[in-house]
């Protein structure tokens, strides 16, 4: 018998980031498990928590311990392997246990304490004893208003304070009075944000002889009840109340009378909200594998069949049939009685993608993405937890899908930076996927046409401490179509020849040709570097956020300026606030400018524009793509959104307006990102019968990322890029930890940041770790900074950062975590915040 549980409580602070001990009441002892969600008293509140371990022995005197208040679910929301995974995340990413646990459950289960009102026991008993409408012995002292309230609560069992005050808005004083006298009392309990959805069902409660007797017993007056019973007997299965009422045109009262006589039962049955219930997915069958696919498939299924843990890096050129391999491997996994998770970047979780999985696996698939309502997401999650589906497809957080016997995790486009969560817990879904697969003895497929340097290097050198995948390659397209021809266009040359347009002559001609032939063009604009600020052409004033040191972005739809970091918004000015000049220009979003230019150059051209502005409405993304597929557009123009996963037969031209905008970004990964993006975009052309062409416009035509991507030459790019990384000691030749300190006052922050950095250096020195990465030792650690962050002020808080760069088997995360805790303890400044980002993707 378990007597005590250790519970992680939902109180986000450094001091509470440890398990607390609670007694397990006898009534719960058979039900509580590791991973159970409970309501526990904490200080003077009731808070939600998760059980992380169970114990038969008490560690202290039971009189000093409090019991668990309530058990919130019959089936624990977290299987115990996820609780272990949370502990792993907390160590690896220096995050609190509660933040890791919360990341694993749907937001519907982030319950908050609610105040409930009850009638005190002794007053309830009094009612039972007399049962003549006399409520309790002290009733003589109560007025009618009081009696009514007490009777109401007694009738409902308990009600929330919010409910009560809404029902009796003018009797708050009366309620307070009853509470003061102890006739009513208050308790707290956790209330979920979303309820399970139920429908009322009706079924016959009699059969055989009893049914005949029942039918005979109805006189002429109860003719309707008789009809209902006949109908229920005929169907022989529970029906929804709605259906009974509409088919027989009877009232709910009729059905209820039937139930009151004991001839029928009415029940609330749980149902699942299904976001795809109105959609029909055309069923597909596995395609016959190409020889390349066959090789890959064999490796994968051997691992699956042996129930082994294995990580595979599937490097396949665009259109080489990676998705088909995923589908067939998943099928094998399911046939072995295990489950599979498919991770895709949020941006490519398009209806097309969902269709491919639903088409193959039908109702075995749960889909989890951010455009679902909280209730829908909760229900998709429950299908997974209750074992009703075998496949989960979703963005980053789907890596936590609570399957019992996970056999396979697929991560498509594994190089995508969106797999790293930028908020706490700052985890990378790739590392979490590998760890989960290790727990389950499962296989992992990391798929990409342009694998990240981290994964590729780990596979080649087999030196990564966390994972060392096996590389599987696919270089052919099953359709037999060739990779498109890519032309690099030097925009400096265009300018020299007198072309000031944003379109080169070649791209211009290419678009004209496609319009003529009735083929389609995809135009891609890298949004990074094209942000839309407002500038005064007279004095050079740029509108900036008053709280964050960055320029505001113009939004045409709402005609206002917004800060992308803090949400600050202000109407767009018509005159310059500095010099009163009217020459203040809004540079519309990059895509809007291109659209304008296109219609000037090609009168009558049909442009479908896809960017943040045109896809913010629900379903807009889907509508635009469908319109393009139906050939209602000559050109699909967009940002990152058009780069991924799209497959249109008539697209024969892809144009990249400015390839190098990302190259100027102060980020050591900018060459890698540019290469990946160009390769992805180019992969959209000529995927079917018609051959494709790609034009890449650039001001840096000699840059290696552009040259190699134009030749579809991943390996040469990687070779060159790895050399740079090695020289500068960047990942994968080192690991990084970014520590950001923020505070409202700049001078205070400066002092604290210095303080932190020197404490960190001192500790590293004492461990003998600190030094220069240029020294040829297998282990080394260096600390850069503190310096002002690239975004030096956000939401009125100043920001300074330190970068820890290290290699070898050092536990630098613990070092940073302990130093940060020590600094907080020592400085005791409520305004100071220290955030730790392990393996950062964004260096802002
Ligand atoms: N074995 C096969 N036989 C015939 N056609 C195939 C086969 N495998 C895949 N295809 C087809 O080839 C095309 C590309 O396949 P798929 O989308 O799976 O490639 P991918 O590598 O995932 O592409 P991307 O890199 O663009 O995501 C699709 O139209 C698909 O139906
Ligand atoms: Zn001005
Ligand atoms: Zn701001």
pLDDT digits (tens, 9 = 90+) for 291-340: 999 999 999 999 999 999 999 999 999 889 999 999 999 999 999 999 99
List, for residues 64-107, the tens digit of each pLDDT value: 889 998 888 878 999 999 999 999 999 999 999 999 999 999 88
In this predicted structure, what is the pLDDT of residue 477?
A: 87
Confidence of residue 586 (pLDDT cuts 50, 70, 90): low
Confidence of residue 126 (pLDDT cuts 50, 70, 90): very low
Last residue of some domain: 191, 222, 251?
Answer: 191
The annotation places the binding site at 536, 539, 545, 548, 563, 566, 576, 579
CATH number at residue 755: 3.30.70.600
429 is a domain residue? yes
Mutate to test the pocket of ligand 1, among 318, 323, 416 (most ligand atoms within 8 A of CB): 323
Residue of 1, 3, 2 whose CA lies nearest to 62: 3
* Ligand 1 center from residue 477 Cα (angstroms): 7
* Ligand 2 center from residue 585 Cα (angstroms): 10
Round to whole Å and give the CA distance between 687 and 634.
Answer: 17
Measured from the alpha carbon of residue 645, the closest ligand is 1
* Ligand 3 center from residue 844 Cα (angstroms): 14
Measured from the alpha carbon of residue 584, the closest ligand is 2
In this predicted structure, what is the pLDDT of residue 91?
A: 95
Q: Name 646's Cβ contacts closer than 8 Å, sequence gap at least 6.
A: 350, 352, 522, 625, 684
Instruction: Tell whether 701 and 818 lie within a shared domain.
Output: no
In this predicted structure, what is the pLDDT of residue 123?
A: 66
151 is a domain residue? yes
CATH number at residue 91: 3.40.1440.60
**What DSSP state is assigned to residue 770?**
B
Of all residues in the chain, what percent carry a pLDDT higher than 90? Answer: 44
Tell which atom from ligand 1 comes closest to the C-alpha of 683. 26
Residue nearest to ligand 1 atom 16, measured at CA: 321
* Ligand 2 center from residue 577 Cα (angstroms): 7
List, for residues 444-453, the tens digit of each pLDDT value: 999 999 999 9
229 is a domain residue? no
Tell which atom from ligand 1 comes closest to the C-alpha of 688. 29
Instruction: Tell whether 186 and 96 lie within a shared domain.
Output: no
* Lowest-confidence region among 81-95, 606-620, 658-672, 826-840: 658-672
Measured from the alpha carbon of residue 544, the closest ligand is 3
Instruction: Tell whether 359 and 457 lie within a shared domain.
Output: yes
The interaxial angle of helices 241-248 and 252-260, nearest 10 deg, is 120
Mutate to test the pocket of ligand 1, among 319, 411, 448, 483 (most ligand atoms within 8 A of CB): 319
Last residue of some domain: 191, 216, 249?
Answer: 191
* Ligand 1 center from residue 324 Cα (angstroms): 6
Residue nearest to ligand 1 atom 4, measured at CA: 478
Of the two residues 840 and 775, the one the predictor is more confident about is 840
Q: Name 195's Cβ contacts closer than 8 Å, sequence gap at least 6.
A: none
Tell which atom from ligand 1 comes closest to the C-alpha of 477. 12
* Ligand 3 center from residue 831 Cα (angstroms): 18
Tell which atom from ligand 1 comes closest to the C-alpha of 448. 25
Residue nearest to ligand 1 atom 5, measured at CA: 478
Supply the range of the domain harboring residue 28: 4-112
In this predicted structure, what is the pLDDT of residue 589?
A: 55
The two most distant CA atoms of the chain are separated, in Å, by: 102
275 is a domain residue? no
List, for residues 27-78, the tens digit of each pLDDT value: 888 889 999 999 999 988 889 999 999 999 887 787 888 999 888 887 899 9
Residues with CB under 6 A from ligand 1: 287-290, 293, 316, 318-324, 449, 478-479, 645, 647, 683
Sheet harboring 112-119: ordered strands across? 159-160, 112-119, 184-191
Q: Are the C-beta atoms of residues 700 and 664 closer than 8 Å to each other? A: no
Last residue of some domain: 438, 453, 474?
Answer: 474
* pTM reported for the whole predicted model: 0.82
Instruction: Tell whether 371 and 496 lie within a shared domain.
Output: no
746 is a domain residue? yes
216 is a domain residue? no
Residue of 417, 374, 420, 383 whose CA lies nearest to 399: 420
Instruction: Tell whether 108 and 120 lie within a shared domain.
Output: no
Instruction: Tell whether 674 and 805 lie within a shared domain.
Output: no
> Number of folded domains in the chain?
5
Instruction: Tell whether 126 and 108 lie within a shared domain.
Output: no
Sheet harboring 239-240: ordered strands across? 239-240, 197-204, 264-271
Q: Are the C-beta atoms of residues 812 and 708 closer than 8 Å to each other? A: no
In this predicted structure, what is the pLDDT of residue 131?
A: 47
Instruction: Tell whether 498 and 399 lie within a shared domain.
Output: no
Round to whole Å and give the CA distance between 85 and 87.
Answer: 5
- Is the confidence at residue 128, as pLDDT, over 80? no
Instruction: Tell whether 428 and 295 lie within a shared domain.
Output: yes
Per-chain mean pLDDT for the chain: 86
- What is the per-residue burial (b if ≥16 Cβ within 10 Å, else e) of 138-177? ebeebeebbeebbeebbeeeebeeeebeeeeeebeebbeb
Tell which atom from ligand 1 comes closest to the C-alpha of 318. 25
In this predicted structure, what is the pLDDT of residue 581?
A: 84
610 is a domain residue? yes
The annotation places the binding site for Zn(2+) at 536, 539, 545, 548, 563, 566, 576, 579
620 is a domain residue? yes
Most confident of 30-39, 399-408, 661-670: 399-408
- Is the confidence at residue 345, as pLDDT, over 50? yes
Instruction: Tell whether 431 and 499 lie within a shared domain.
Output: no
- Is the confidence at residue 484, as pLDDT, over 90? no
**What DSSP state is assigned to residue 618?**
T
* Ligand 3 center from residue 789 Cα (angstroms): 15
* Ligand 3 center from residue 570 Cα (angstroms): 11
* Ligand 3 center from residue 616 Cα (angstroms): 21
Measured from the alpha carbon of residue 536, the closest ligand is 2
Mutate to test the pocket of ligand 1, among 284, 313, 324, 347 (most ligand atoms within 8 A of CB): 324
CATH number at residue 419: 3.40.50.300
Tell which atom from ligand 1 comes closest to the C-alpha of 320. 21
Instruction: Tell whether 183 and 70 lie within a shared domain.
Output: no
Instruction: Tell whether 494 and 614 lie within a shared domain.
Output: yes
Round to whole Å and give the CA distance between 413 and 346.
Answer: 11
Residue nearest to ligand 1 atom 25, measured at CA: 318
Above 0.90 for ipTM, yes or no? yes
* Ligand 2 center from residue 579 Cα (angstroms): 4
Round to whole Å and give the CA distance between 278 and 274.
Answer: 9
């Amino acid at each position: 018998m378990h007597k005590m549980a250790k519970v992680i409580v939902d109180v986000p602070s450094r001091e509470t980031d440890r398990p607390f001990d609670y007694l397990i009441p006898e009534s719960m002892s058979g039900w509580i498990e590791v991973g159970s969600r409970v309501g526990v008293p904490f200080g003077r509140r009731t808070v939600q928590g998760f059980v992380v371990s169970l114990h038969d022995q008490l560690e202290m005197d039971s009189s000093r311990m409090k019991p668990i208040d309530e058990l919130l679910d019959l089936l624990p929301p977290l299987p115990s392997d996820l609780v272990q995974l949370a502990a792993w995340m907390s160590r690896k990413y220096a995050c609190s246990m509660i933040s890791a646990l919360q990341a694993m459950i749907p937001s519907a289960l982030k319950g908050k304490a609610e105040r409930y009102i009850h009638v005190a026991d002794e007053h309830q008993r009094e009612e039972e004893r007399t049962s003549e409408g006399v409520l309790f012995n002290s009733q003589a002292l109560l007025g009618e208003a009081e009696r009514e309230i007490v009777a109401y609560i007694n009738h409902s069992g308990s009600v929330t304070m919010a409910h009560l005050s809404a029902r009796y808005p003018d009797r708050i004083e009366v309620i307070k009075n009853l509470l003061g006298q102890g006739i009513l009392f208050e308790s707290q309990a956790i209330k979920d944000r979303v309820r399970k959805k139920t429908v009322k069902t009706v079924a016959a409660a009699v059969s055989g002889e009893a049914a005949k007797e029942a039918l005979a017993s109805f006189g002429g007056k109860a003719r309707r009840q008789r009809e209902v019973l006949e109908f229920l007997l005929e169907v022989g299965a529970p029906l929804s109340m709605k259906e009974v009422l509409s088919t027989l045109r009877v009232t709910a009262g009729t059905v209820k009378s039937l139930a009151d006589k004991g001839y029928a039962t009415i029940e609330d049955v749980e149902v699942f909200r299904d976001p795809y219930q109105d959609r029909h997915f055309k069923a597909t069958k596995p395609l016959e594998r190409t020889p390349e696919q066959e090789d890959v498939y064999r490796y994968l299924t051997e691992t699956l069949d042996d129930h082994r843990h294995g990580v595979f890096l599937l490097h396949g050129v665009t259109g080489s049939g990676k998705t088909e391999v995923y589908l067939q491997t998943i099928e094998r996994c399911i046939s072995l009685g295990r489950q599979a998770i498919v991770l895709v970047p949020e941006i490519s979780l398009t209806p097309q993608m969902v269709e491919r999985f639903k088409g193959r696996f039908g109702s075995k698939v749960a889909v989890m993405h951010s455009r679902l309502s909280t209730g829908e997401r909760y229900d998709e999650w429950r299908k997974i937890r209750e074992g009703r589906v075998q496949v989960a497809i979703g963005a980053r957080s789907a890596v936590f899908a609570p399957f019992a016997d996970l056999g396979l995790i697929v991560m498509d486009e594994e190089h995508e930076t969106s797999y790293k969560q930028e908020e706490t817990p700052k985890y990378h879904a790739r590392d979490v996927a590998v760890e989960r697969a290790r727990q389950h003895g499962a296989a992992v497929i990391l798929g990409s046409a342009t694998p990240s340097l981290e994964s590729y290097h780990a596979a080649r050198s087999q030196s990564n401490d966390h994972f060392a995948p096996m590389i599987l390659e696919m270089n052919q397209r099953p359709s037999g179509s060739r990779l498109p021809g890519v032309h690099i266009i030097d925009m400096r040359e265009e300018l020299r020849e007198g072309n000031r347009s944003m379109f080169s002559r070649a791209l211009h001609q290419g678009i004209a040709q496609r319009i003529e032939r009735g083929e389609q063009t995809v135009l891609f604009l890298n949004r990074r570097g094209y942000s839309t600020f407002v500038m005064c052409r007279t004095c050079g004033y740029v509108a900036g956020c008053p709280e964050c040191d960055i320029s505001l972005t113009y939004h045409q739809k709402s005609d206002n300026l917004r800060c992308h970091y803090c949400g600050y918004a202000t109407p767009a000015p018509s005159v310059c606030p500095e010099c009163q000049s009217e020459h203040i220009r809004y540079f519309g979003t990059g895509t809007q400018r291109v659209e304008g230019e296109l219609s000037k150059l090609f009168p009558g051209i049909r442009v479908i524009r896809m960017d943040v502005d045109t896809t913010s409405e629900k379903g807009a993304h889907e509508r635009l793509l469908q319109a393009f597929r139906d050939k209602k557009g000559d050109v699909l123009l967009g940002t990152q959104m058009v780069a991924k996963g799209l497959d249109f037969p008539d697209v024969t031209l892809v144009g990249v307006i400015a390839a190098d905008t990302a190259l100027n970004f102060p980020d050591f990964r900018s060459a890698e990102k540019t290469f990946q993006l160009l390769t992805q975009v180019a992969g959209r052309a000529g995927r079917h019968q018609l051959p494709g062409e790609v034009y890449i416009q650039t001001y840096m035509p000699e840059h290696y990322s552009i040259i190699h991507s134009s030749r579809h030459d991943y390996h040469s790019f990687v070779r060159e890029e790895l050399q740079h990384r090695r020289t500068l000691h960047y990942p994968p030749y080192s690991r990084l930890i970014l520590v950001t300190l923020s505070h409202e006052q700049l001078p205070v922050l400066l002092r604290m940041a210095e303080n932190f950095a020197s404490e960190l250096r001192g500790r590293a020195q004492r461990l003998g770790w600190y030094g220069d990465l240029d020294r040829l030792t297998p282990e080394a650690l260096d600390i850069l900074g503190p310096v002002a962050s690239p975004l030096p002020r956000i939401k009125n808080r100043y920001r300074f950062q330190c970068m820890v760069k290290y290699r070898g088997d050092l536990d630098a995360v613990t070092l940073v975590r302990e130093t940060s805790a020590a600094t907080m303890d020592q400085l005791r400044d409520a305004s100071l915040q220290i955030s730790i980002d392990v393996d950062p993707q964004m260096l802002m």
